[in-house]
Chains A and B, each alone.
Chain A
Amino acid sequence: MSALHDTARQLLESGTAAVVIGYGEGTAGSARPLFVRDAARAGELVFDERCVHNLSVYLLKPEVKALGKAAIVGQPATLRSILQLASEQQVKEGDVIVLLPETEGGVRQIGSFAEIEEAVSEADAQLSPEEKACLDEIAALPRVDRWRFWQQEFTRCLKCYACRAACPLCYCAQCIVEVNQPQWIPVPPHPLGNMDWHLVRAMHLAGRCIGCGECARACPVDIPLNLLNQVIEEEISGQFGAHAGLSASASYALSTFTTGDKDTFIR
């Protein structure tokens, strides 16, 4: 840990970074996002298996950008989001310093997209066996039961938009739910409006979602939203061979095509 503290301290003292975005101690032994702007507080940073939040969501917040250059503690999901944001022109080369805690306790400091690309691998983009099992379990249900399952989940949705707020790739200044001419997505949390919202969000993230699961973690009523994104990512990687968040310059799957794209259902 001390390598992380030293690196953070050094970045702040030298003025190379105005803020270090990392993790700190939270309530009841949990970890939570921490913003260190004062070098004297660098010692508050922690990094261990509790640190799962995808901190890249903060990179596009105006309040954080206003602080100045950020150094961010990276784990695979964070790195992939940064690359995806870069491919969407939301983060420029050199905008952010990434601190990669290493297993022996050291910290590697990287800044260029090439270095970040090297630090992630296609293996990170695969669904874990547990995730695959979850998906398959639902997919194996008869259609009517799948409908009932999701309708029940959607009934709990409050339209609090925590899923949207927690997602690093949901950065639209005016989200589709805020378009009211026409009101595409019903505002009140009735099942129809909720289903429309979740399907829209999944489609707008298709090919862009890097699978960090923040949406499901943020949901106050435990709807397994990430499954919607994961089923899409599985389809996209299977059909088009594309993965989000592996390159700072890739075009995403739904804004490109090849003439060799296949389908089995178009007459």
Chain B
Amino acid sequence: MAEFEPKITAFVCTWCTYAGADLTGTSRIKYASNVRVLRVPCTGRIDFMYILQAFAQGADGVIVSGCHPADCHYTSGNLHARRRWVVLRRLLDFVGVDTRRIHFAWVSAAEGAKWADLVNSVVSTVRELGPYDEYRQAIPAHLIPGGTAA
């Protein structure tokens, strides 16, 4: 039986983490290919609904990453985001969402190696946790990721 390969969705900011991930590539650093990257202008743009949608649409883990505090391209977007994540994590944990599957990081445009390490570590953690089927039990049949039995 094939080993489970987790699907990881990553929401990253344009100016730091996305650029950092580009650097990982141009530096020819190999890392796990399980991640689908979604680029937004700034982590401050990330609505917590994105994370829930990612799980609802089949992700087993989520990465959210942006500029380090004080380095935000828009000055303070990541500082707003940080507060939001603190609150979100507490809420999600309280309702029993598996917060071991949600990972936050500051990865700058120069941190190509950090991005690779981050992805590898998240993939390895989530691989061990297994598929996030528990979340998908809440999803009605017609919205099961991967298509309906039409």
Contacts and interface: CB of A to CB of B under 8 A. Distances in A.
- Direct contact between the two chains A and B in their complex (CB within 8 A): yes
Interface of A: 138-139, 143-151, 154, 184, 186, 188, 190-192, 195-196, 199-200, 202-203, 206-207, 227-228, 231-232, 235-236, 239-240, 253-257, 259, 261, 263, 265-267
Contacts of B84: 203, 254
A57 B89 CA distance: 29
Interface of B: 48-49, 52, 56, 69-70, 76, 79-80, 82-98, 103-106, 118, 134, 137-140, 143
Nearest to B81: A257
29 contacts: A143-B96, A144-B134, A147-B95, A147-B134, A148-B96, A150-B95, A190-B139, A195-B95, A196-B49, A199-B52, A199-B92, A203-B48, A203-B91, A206-B87, A206-B91, A228-B94, A235-B90, A254-B83, A254-B87, A256-B83, A257-B79, A257-B83, A261-B82, A261-B86, A263-B86, A263-B104, A265-B85, A266-B105, A267-B106
B49 A231 contact: no
Given A192-B56, A265-B89, A267-B103, A228 B138 contact: no
Nearest to B104: A266
A1 B97 CA distance: 49
B118 A267 contact: yes
Q: Is the interface of B mostly helix, strand, loop or mixed?
A: helix
A192 B76 contact: no
Contact of B80 (A186, A206, A257): A257
Given A236-B87, A257-B83, A263-B85, A151 B138 contact: yes
Nearest to A266: B104
A253 B83 contact: yes
Contacts of A266: 82, 85, 104-106
A257 B76 contact: yes
Contacts of B52: 196, 199
Nearest to B136: A192
> Which 9 residue pairs of A and B lie closest in terms of their CB atoms, listed nearest first?
A147-B96, A146-B96, A257-B79, A235-B90, A267-B105, A191-B138, A190-B140, A150-B95, A266-B104
